[in-house]
Amino acid sequence: MHHAASDWMPGQRSRRFTIDRPPSQLYAERVRPTVTPAHQTPGGRDTEHAAATSSAAEPRRSPLQGTVVLDATRVLAGPYATMILADLGAEVIKVERPGQGDDSRAYGPFNAGSSAYYASLNRGKKSVTLDLKSEPGRDAFLRLADQADVLVENFRPGVMAGLGLGWDEVHARNPGLVYASCSGFGQTGPYADRPAYDVVAQAMGGLMAVTGEEHGGPVRVGASMGDLSAALFLVTGILAALLERESTGLGAHVDVAMLDSVVALLENAIVRNDLEDVAPGRLGTRHPAITPFQAFATSDGHIVVAAGNDALWEHLCDVTGAGALTADVRFATNRDRTANHGALEGALSPIFAARTSAEWLVTLLDAGVPCGPVNGIEAVVNDPQIAAREMLVEVADREGRSFRVAGSPLRLSTGGATPRTWVASLGEHTEELLRERLGMDEESIEALRRQAVI
């Protein structure tokens, strides 16, 4: 389906703001079909629409179909966020540096010279190359922003404004655009100008203080949780701003910091720091408030066991032959077990070490005790549950180079969230977008190429 703003011609600004209807009304009409309700419930929800969308017989259009996202991000946090938006149906136009592209195009592993790292974060996006330090490049970027619904950037605060592409400039031209900024420390505060990568956010946000073995040194979480948590919060903010725009017609500036996002994920560490005498620290696989809730070595590997309440504790003791432990006053309640975790671990460890992981998993699952193997990545990608949920998808570029990447965990009853499986080469869509969106002719495009703007 054509985006409403695809009729844009040079000299015009977004069509949404040149017609005689509220911007929110036009946006709603463009993003989803108009439904005339037969009846409304007291809460305002129309029953005809509810019945239509609850039926799985005919999948509805993707939630963000018709939404245009201008992606000025690179490496991880920003690209991961815009990839989620693409999975939800948005048209994502990724702006990259001519000749070089996103930094992650140089990150391994590689498949016949093509970065699989880049592909895992940028599948399903169009690629346009623009030199944003040049006047023609900035002009083209702003004209693309005039037609966009969302702009996402993850430069250090002040960089986009210094280029004349900041929130104030873009909002003045396109008041309905949602402008989303992701940075290490946010747009405000004493650290705002500092550079940051994931490891910095994990370290400064306290995540390393609670990750690793009890008497070991700092350990970075294996996945880039500083980047990924910021990406998820960024998507949340973007969707909230788009929803708000339906009633106000105005976009908003979404400001998400990696450091803030890590702190937001500290779970109960902050309240424990306030209420307990000992500061939260590293516990290995153990939980600070639930016991047993950790990994145990078996005769051929490791499993995790999570007895989250007294009933599960009793089931665990019954099936492991450790029934005597339920009569031990040191382990009478979860609070007791946590206070005496060392003694409890010492009692259970020899029991688990006596049998294989597979044997224990069958025994524990039959008893309803939450548990699982400690899988390596090879086991993960071959797990039947992962296959059943279609969490691995094969992507390919236009040269036919293909490999598997993680899919989307989003499942909608309407079938509206679908991972896209193509990967654009650097600048693959530049001419198409300049011609079709900005109305440029071949001579104008060639002039930009000669100037190394594209």
**Does residue 379 form part of some domain?**
no
Q: What is the pLDDT of residue 416?
A: 73
406 residue type, one letter:
A
- For the chain, the domain total comes to 2
The two tokens of residue 316 are 């665990």
Q: What is the pLDDT of residue 278?
A: 86
**Does residue 282 form part of some domain?**
no
In eight-state DSSP terms, residue 256 is: E
Count how many Cα atoms sit within 13 Å of the Cα of residue 184 in the half-sphere of its side chain.
18
Hey, which residues are catalytic here? 287
Q: State the Cα–Cα distance between residues 96 and 449, nearest whole angstrom.
A: 14
112/168 same-domain check: yes
Question: 118-128, pLDDT tens digit by residue?
Answer: 999 999 999 99
**Does residue 41 form part of some domain?**
no
153/235 same-domain check: yes
**Does residue 37 form part of some domain?**
no
Burial 65-75 (b: 16+ CB within 10 A, else e): bbbbbbbbbbb
Tell me which residue has tokens 């005809």: 48
Residues recorded for the chain: 454
Q: Which domain holds residue 339?
A: 293-374
Is 387 exposed, middle or buried, given 0-12, 13-18 or 19+ CB atoms closer than 10 A? exposed
Helices (H), 33-151: 47-54, 77-87, 116-122, 135-147
Question: 68-115, pLDDT tens digit by residue?
Answer: 999 999 999 999 999 999 999 999 999 999 999 999 999 999 998 899
234/197 same-domain check: yes
Q: State the Cα–Cα distance between residues 151 and 82, nearest whole angstrom.
A: 10
Q: What is the pLDDT of residue 2?
A: 35
- Hey, which residues does 256 pair with through a beta bridge? 182
Strand order in the sheet with 150-153: 126-129, 91-96, 68-72, 150-153, 178-183, 253-257
Q: Which of 309, 340, 374 is the last residue of a domain?
A: 374
| CATH number of 335's domain | 3.30.1540.10
Q: Which of 311, 342, 374 is the last residue of a domain?
A: 374
216/136 same-domain check: yes
Residue 51 near residue 73 (C-beta atoms within 8 A): no
E runs forming strands in 200-301: 253-257, 293-297
Q: State the Cα–Cα distance between residues 146 and 7, nearest whole angstrom.
A: 12
Q: What is the pLDDT of residue 58?
A: 52
- Count CB atoms within 10 A of the CB of residue 198: 24
180/234 same-domain check: yes
3-state secondary structure of 40: strand
Residue 24 near residue 50 (C-beta atoms within 8 A): no
Which is it for strands 302-306 and 293-297: parallel, antiparallel or unpaired?
antiparallel
Q: What is the pLDDT of residue 414?
A: 86
Which is it for strands 91-96 and 126-129: parallel, antiparallel or unpaired?
parallel
Give me the residues of the chain with pLDDT under 50, please.
1-57
Q: What is the pLDDT of residue 128?
A: 98
361/424 same-domain check: no
**Does residue 257 form part of some domain?**
yes
427/335 same-domain check: no
87/139 same-domain check: yes
80/197 same-domain check: yes
The two tokens of residue 144 are 């693309």
413/312 same-domain check: no
**Does residue 307 form part of some domain?**
yes
442/341 same-domain check: no
Count how many Cα atoms sit within 13 Å of the Cα of residue 175 in the half-sphere of its side chain.
10
The two tokens of residue 285 are 């696989």
Q: What is the pLDDT of residue 401?
A: 87
Q: State the Cα–Cα distance between residues 430 and 128, nearest whole angstrom.
A: 4
**Does residue 95 form part of some domain?**
yes
91/229 same-domain check: yes
Q: What is the pLDDT of residue 389?
A: 95
Q: 179: closest CA among 201, 195, 157? A: 157
Q: What is the pLDDT of residue 33?
A: 35
Question: 191-250, pLDDT tens digit by residue?
Answer: 999 999 999 999 999 999 999 999 999 999 999 999 999 999 999 999 999 999 999 999
Q: What is the pLDDT of residue 340?
A: 97
